[in-house]
Structure 1
Amino acid sequence: MPELISTSQLSRIVLKGFKSIVECDIELTQLNIFIGCNGAGKSNFIGFFRMIEQMLENKLQVFVSRQGGPDAILHFGRKITEQLEVELYFGHNGYFATFEPTQDNRLMFSKESFWWDMSGEKRISSGHFETKASQGTGTGSDMYVLPAMKQWRVYHFHDTSDSAYVKQPHGINDNAYLRADGRNLAAFLYLLKEKYSESYQQIVKTVRLVAPFFGDFYLRPSPQNNDVIELEWFEQGQDIPFKAHHFSDGTLRFICLATVFLQPNLFYKPATILVDEPELGLHPYAITVLASLMRAAAQKKQVIVSTQSVELLNEFAAKDVIVVDRDDGKSLLRRLKEEDLYEWLEDYSLGELWKKNILGGRPSR
């Protein structure tokens, strides 16, 4: 299995009792493509990372409440699953946590610790409701684990309706990083245009591959309020700016995705990029371009993507793919082995094998 480039990237995850995932132990590499049918548990796997993001912002209980309480997070509730167990490994270091539901519908840390293979597990604390990981353990793990956990970003660009945040005016200084739903896309692109022109031009040229009518973004402070900006653009050969709602849903999603995978290494750079079903609304050619962006990004970052697209799957190797099946209400995750599919792949693509149910990840009774 390929070695990870950076110890800031997740090399292995052990997860027990999270929603449909009763138990999984998966090794992760630079490029990880999750496939499976509707309801198999792909989005639950990605959703776990959202929980950790919220936890690191001291908003774990807010996350739990918005999910519907501990019983909506624990597999089939507390009567079936008494606790949630998490082990995250970053090379030789790791983060362990165990969560238990309380009578007042919160999740409590019954254990939180760092791990280092030279000295084993070092407990941080227990009995608390928001993470105390920042306190550290006084070991070498303190330098690696928490910073690594803060360097992943979960993106979802499903909402492209008229009221979507990405289409609304927003603060021009909201540009430290691209937010999960792209709500600060214009501010972020404005920063790239002013300070990172090479990355900005790459994004523009890539968007033109998928949308040949696209000329360039029109990025400027609002004439009414210089502290505000919104997404505007020109069509090729024209000088009349259009608003974001003149983009098709697929084009707008692709712009967000191109920005994610072509963003330069800023201060808040993501070491791990996670995207749930990026193919939504995209033309097959756009999916091909997207796959090339993902492969290129995976040379320097870790990429974790869930998909139901045969076209997207066809762009990757078997070793990149993790299949998610659902059996008796449980999500089962396994990485494909190229040697098991060698003869099949001489005659068929991965997508064709998926449709033939050779790979799994298909609906079953």
Structure 2
Amino acid sequence: MDIIKEIEIKGFKSIENQTLNLGQLNIFIGTNGAGKSNFLEALAMISASAEGGIDYKKLSSRGARLSSPEILRSSFRNVERKNYFELAIKMQDFYYNFKLNTNKESLSYFSEKLLKNNKKIAGRSRAGATLFKESIPKITQNRSIISIIQNYEGSHNNIINKLSEFAIFSPSTPILRGVASDNSFQEPLGLYGGGLAKALTDILNNNSRHELQRFFHLLDWFQSIGVTDQINTDIAPEQSILGNILVTYKDKFMKTNFNDLYAYDVSEGALYILFVLVLLIHENTPDIFAVDNIDNTLNPGLVRELMNQIVDILKKHPEKQVFLTTHNPTALDSIDLFDPNHRLFVVARNEAGKTEFKQIKPPQGTTKEEWEEKYYGLKLSEIWLSGAIGGLPKGF
């Protein structure tokens, strides 16, 4: 599978030095401010570099917060602060590493290295840059070595392109309703909920429309979903409707001559669930992506059921890799800690304020039956709330 297998983060925001082994489905739990979003933004940094260089425009298009360059470097009491941070990933047979200098105004590459099967494809340092062992003209300090590699044929281009499409999605209810704009301009789905009607149209017109039946397993009071450009202005809300089309729903409990609902009529949960499903099944959405706060707007039972659908979709699409953050314990109940494709990480700050990631997994050699016996058959949500795995405020 062309997924990120490992990530190394050194000196980035609250993360001083952490290495994570990743799976296809990765879930991060922890208190507010523990560093979950910092991890996602480290991935956004790597993705931007894969596109050709790290700048605010590329970071914004991936859903990262646009902090001052200096904020990106770790700062801890009684620890010497370096002038750079370092990020690296392993993906299939490839390893990509870079160090980035930061100052008050800009970011610039200190070093880069791209390996395949432990053999260098390209690199840069103070001594210069090389590509396939040949020296190349000096490239600007804010342009990555990847920008040159992309001009050459090779299997590494597929990996790089897949990595460069990574984005962090955080849907907003007004944008999902069609009454506010999504300034991310991401296609086919905006990072904050834009483009849902158009993306849904694509699915309804292709062979993946059967996957939308999952929606009705989650919200069974709807008879159908669709898209319309015939908006009834007599009952439209006071806000301006953006775009020419809207998502529509039919409620099976309403009178058949008055059961059409627009996106601005239905619950925010119905919009959010549809967005997540479209994100997962649309053929042109990123293969590698994150959803920050997957439990957003949802009842705990719906969170659990949505996670069941996500797990099932990922089984059918091994090319996809998903990173989810959550504060809702029921999001964990679909995770199988004995499945090598699933990863659960507890994120916490240590006594020095440094973010640490603890992967929750059964002791080596433990069977699923032995694990269940140890915790008396409790669900992962119940184990989390018991305090046994951490990720809760002190004194909870």
Fold shared, TM-score > 0.5 on shorter chain: yes
Partners of 1:187 and 1:59 in 2: how far apart?
30
Per-residue deviation, residues 33-62 of structure 1 (Å, max 9, x unmatched): 111111111121122233344452756234
Q: Secondary structure at the match of 1:339?
A: coil
Partners of 2:110 and 2:145 in 1: how far apart?
12
Match of 1:324 in 2: 347
For residues 1-365 of structure 1, what are the structure 2 equivalents within 5 Å?
A: 6=1, 8-55=2-49, 56=51, 60-62=55-57, 63=59, 67-76=66-75, 80-103=81-104, 105-120=105-120, 122-123=122-123, 125=129, 128-136=141-149, 142-157=156-171, 159-161=172-174, 164=175, 167-168=178-179, 177-196=188-207, 199-203=208-212, 205-221=213-229, 228-236=244-252, 238-240=256-258, 241-261=260-280, 263-264=281-282, 266=283, 268-299=284-315, 300=317, 301-318=320-337, 320-327=343-350, 328-339=352-363, 342=371, 343-364=373-394
Which has the larger helix fraction?
A: 1
Equivalenced residue count is 346
Amino acid of the residue matched to residue 274 of structure 1? A
1:348 CA drift (Å)? 2.6
Amino acid of the residue matched to residue 114 of structure 2? F
Partners of 2:44 and 2:166 within 8 A in 1:
no
Amino acid of the residue matched to residue 202 of structure 1? E
TM-score, normalised via structure 2 length: 0.77
Query: What RMSD over aligned residues (CA atoms) do the two structures have, in Å?
Result: 3.2
Partners of 2:279 and 2:285 within 8 A in 1:
no
Partners of 1:293 and 1:339 in 2: how far apart?
28
Partners of 1:220 and 1:229 within 8 A in 2:
yes
TM-score, normalised via structure 1 length: 0.83
Per-residue deviation, residues 261-301 of structure 1 (Å, max 9, x unmatched): 3x14x2x3532232111112212331222111221132222
Partners of 1:259 and 1:82 in 2: how far apart?
42
Unaligned segments of structure 1, at least 5 residues: 1-5
1:166 CA drift (Å)? 5.1
Unaligned segments of structure 2, at least 5 residues: 130-138, 234-242
Say which one has the larger Rg. Answer: 2
Give % identity: 21
Partners of 1:348 and 1:165 in 2: how far apart?
36
Provide closer, same or farther for how the CA distance between residues 250 and 71 of structure 1 changes in structure 2, counting only shifts above 3 A. same
Partners of 2:187 and 2:285 within 8 A in 1:
no
Partners of 2:187 and 2:349 in 1: how far apart?
39
Partners of 1:209 and 1:57 in 2: how far apart?
42
Provide closer, same or farther for how the CA distance between residues 356 and 169 of structure 1 changes in structure 2, counting only shifts above 3 A. closer
1:86 CA drift (Å)? 0.8
Partners of 1:206 and 1:38 in 2: how far apart?
31
Partners of 1:321 and 1:335 within 8 A in 2:
yes
